[in-house]
Amino acid sequence: GQSLEQPSEVTAVEGAIVQINCTYQTSGFYGLSWYQQHDGGAPTFLSYNALDGLEETGRFSSFLSRSDSYGYLLLQELQMKDSASYFCAVSGSNYQLIWGAGTKLIIKP
Amino acid sequence: NAGVTQTPKFRVLKTGQSMTLLCAQDMNHEYMYWYRQDPGMGLRLIHYSVGEGTTAKGEVPDGYNVSRLKKQNFLLGLESAAPSQTSVYFCASSFPGTENEQFFGPGTRLTVL
């Protein structure tokens, strides 16, 4: 079967750095995606890693280790607007994304 | 560009009633998807389409049907609604080969009593 695991909740302080981890078990792995979803809103795409290493997009970075079936999303200089749920998702060989249950990021002033 | 739009935004049904959710996209995407999201959970794929006239089952297809008669539209039907289908439904679309980067509609909040 296919499954993804990520923490259900993470708390951090405004201005700090936070890392959200994701481990996966899947067949036909092509890459790992990250999405952000604010309460009541729709998911929005953040990043995609197909190869090992770190991808940086502004304050957000995403990392992938294919040999460890592991990735993480790193958020720097946290702002209150970053309070949201973050989902990792795996793309395989059949046009589909398999989604994790999401990590709720709580930011305290 | 409107992106991905969904109608209706909210709906309340009684058990056994039927309805159709409409998704439209103006980005010329080939691939379209229907998901459901339940509280505290990730998205689960119901059905998807890789082109006009084609549909395929996802992870949780039972109780739903879909049609993709036009490239820009993807319809999700519930023939006989059940309380277990109370959920938020999201439509998404993407270009071929980029299913990792999907664009989502605002969602439809469906309650089945």
Least confident of A36-45, A71-80, A87-96: A87-96
**Which residue's structure tokens are 């993407």?**
B94
Mean residue pLDDT of chain B comes to: 95
Contact between B89 and B34 (Cβ < 8 Å): yes
Other beta carbons less than 10 A from residue A9's beta carbon: 10
Other beta carbons less than 10 A from residue A20's beta carbon: 23
Measure the CA–CA gap between A18 and A37, rounded to whole angstroms.
Answer: 17
**Which residue's structure tokens are 């890693």?**
A49
Does residue B15 surpass a pLDDT of 70? Answer: yes
**Distance (Å) from the alpha carbon of B81 to chain A's nearest alpha carbon:** 23
B37-78, pLDDT tens digit by residue?
998 788 999 999 999 999 999 989 999 999 999 999 999 999
Dihedral angle of Cα B61, A99, B75, B105, to the nearest 10 degrees: 160
Structure confidence at residue A96 (pLDDT) = 82
**DSSP assignment letter at B28:** -
Residue of A76 and A29 predicted with greater confidence: A76
Residue B63 forms contact with A (CB below 8 Å): no
Q: Which residues of B touch A100 (CB under 8 A)?
A: 42
Provide φ and ψ at A75, rounded to 5°: -115, 125
Q: Which residues of A touch B31 (CB under 8 A)?
A: 95
Return the residue in A9, A55, A95 with the most chain B beta carbons within 10 A, the one to mutate for interface testing.
A95
Does residue B11 surpass a pLDDT of 80? Answer: yes
Mean residue pLDDT of chain A comes to: 94
Six token digits for residue B59:
């992870």
Structure confidence at residue A2 (pLDDT) = 77
B77-100, pLDDT tens digit by residue?
999 999 999 999 999 999 987 888
Residue B41 forms contact with A (CB below 8 Å): yes
Q: In this prediction, what percent of chain A has a pLDDT beyond 70?
A: 98
Structure confidence at residue A93 (pLDDT) = 66
**DSSP assignment letter at B73:** E
Peptide bond into A7 cis (omega under 30): no
Structure confidence at residue A29 (pLDDT) = 84
Residue of A28 and A38 predicted with greater confidence: A38
Six token digits for residue B9:
């935004």
Neighbour-count burial of B29, counting CB atoms closer than 10 A to its CB (0-12 exposed, 13-18 middle, 19+ buried): buried
Does residue B31 surpass a pLDDT of 90? Answer: yes
End-to-end CA distance of chain B: 36
Q: In this prediction, what percent of chain A has a pLDDT beyond 90?
A: 84
Which residue of chain A comes nearest to B98, CA vs CA? Answer: A95
